[in-house]
Amino acid sequence: MHRGTTIRSWASVLACTLALAGCGFGAAGGPAPVMSPAATGTPTTTPATPFTAGAALPPSPLPAGTKYLNPASGRTEVIDPAITRSAVLIGDSQSGGAAGVKSADTWVVRGLAAQGYTVRFEGNGGTGFVARTSKAANYPTGLESGKTLLPYGNPALVVVQGGGNDASQGVADDAILANAARLLKDLKASYPTSRFLFIGTLAKGATHGGGRRTHVDSLLAGFAKRNGLPFVSVGDWLTRYGVAGSLADAVHLNESGHQVLARVLAKQLAAMGLRGPAAAK
């Protein structure tokens, strides 16, 4: 074979190889590597698309609202650019609102906001550590089943509030404690470096008919102490701060009652050194 013919043959092979690579095939005939958005510089614009990664940080940039499979927790979470200024709040209707009061106006959310947190409420009325409704799971099951999607990142504070529905449904102490431990483990997997706070069960107090609700508040206080967690006991707040007359029903406050206890909670948070990013400036 002449030298010129050999050169033309190799040129043809090279051209075919480059053509195949350009169509998504490598030189060896297999698929070409797929580049991540970060590697190509192309931003992701599909918020509903889950992402996986082997590192602690997600591919960048990801738009707010993008679903991301957190390799640390093994659960799908949601990108929130404001997460470092936020308090992620797991709770019931005391935080989510009831009896005509919106979540933003509840004593829990108002108290946290007054101390400089952007509150991210993740919960449902009627639920608790074990208590659930026909539409919503209890706290740990909601996380583990993927029905509750936490924001991804490192929030300034993680707050767990509740116990009232567990009390009203007569849930046994052992079951409440077991699920509180499950929940704490789940949350620590997502937020290993964040500060935590537990808030107990709003009630009238043991000597004023607080009953099972006050007992559950004390039960959660013991759980928090054993786990080294800050705790706000609210098992006598309705009578201690004179808002029993501001109840809209048996357990939910009207708007004025929420305003009173929001100020109480804000002061308690400040006394505990749990001021939020905005308040600390």
CATH of the domain at 188: 3.40.50.1110
Is the backbone of residue 78 left (phi > 0), alpha (psi -120 to 50) or beta?
A: beta
On whether both 93 and 159 belong to a single domain, the answer is: yes
On whether both 265 and 200 belong to a single domain, the answer is: yes
On whether both 24 and 150 belong to a single domain, the answer is: no
On whether both 157 and 220 belong to a single domain, the answer is: yes
Distances (CA, A) of 89 to 101, 148, 192, 198, 269: 17, 12, 16, 10, 14
Q: Answer yes or no: is 233 within a domain.
A: yes
C-beta pairs of 223-229 under 8 Å, 24+ apart in sequence: 223/177, 223/180, 223/181, 223/198, 224/198, 227/184, 229/184, 229/196, 229/197, 229/198
pLDDT of residue 60: 67
Q: Answer yes or no: is 265 within a domain.
A: yes
Q: In total, how many domains does the chain have?
A: 2
Q: Answer yes or no: is 71 within a domain.
A: no
Q: Answer yes or no: is 267 within a domain.
A: yes
On whether both 91 and 172 belong to a single domain, the answer is: yes
On whether both 25 and 122 belong to a single domain, the answer is: no
Q: Domain containing 9: what range? A: 3-34
On whether both 102 and 28 belong to a single domain, the answer is: no
On whether both 89 and 225 belong to a single domain, the answer is: yes
pLDDT of residue 279: 73
pLDDT of residue 82: 93
CB atoms within 10 A of CB 175: 12
On whether both 19 and 117 belong to a single domain, the answer is: no
Q: Answer yes or no: is 242 within a domain.
A: yes
Say which residue the tokens 């480059």 belong to.
18
Look up the pTM and report it.
Answer: 0.80
CB atoms within 10 A of CB 33: 8
Distances (CA, A) of 142 to 16, 49, 148, 196, 261: 54, 21, 5, 19, 28
HSE, CB side, 13 Å, CA atoms: give it for residue 128: 27
On whether both 87 and 21 belong to a single domain, the answer is: no
pLDDT of residue 133: 97
Q: Answer yes or no: is 67 within a domain.
A: no
- Binned average pLDDT, 10 residues per bin, the chain of 281 residues: 46 42 40 33 41 50 92 96 96 98 98 98 97 97 97 97 98 98 98 98 96 98 98 98 97 98 98 89 62
On whether both 17 and 154 belong to a single domain, the answer is: no
Q: Answer yes or no: is 40 within a domain.
A: no
pLDDT of residue 278: 83
Question: Could you give the dihedral angle defined by the CA atoms of residues 173, 203, 129 and 146, in that order, rounded to the nearest 10 degrees?
Answer: 180
pLDDT of residue 32: 32
On whether both 149 and 22 belong to a single domain, the answer is: no
Q: How many residues does the chain have?
A: 281
Which is nearest to 159 in space by CA: 87, 77, 111? 87
What contacts 16, CB < 8 A, 6 or more positions away?
Answer: none
pLDDT of residue 7: 42
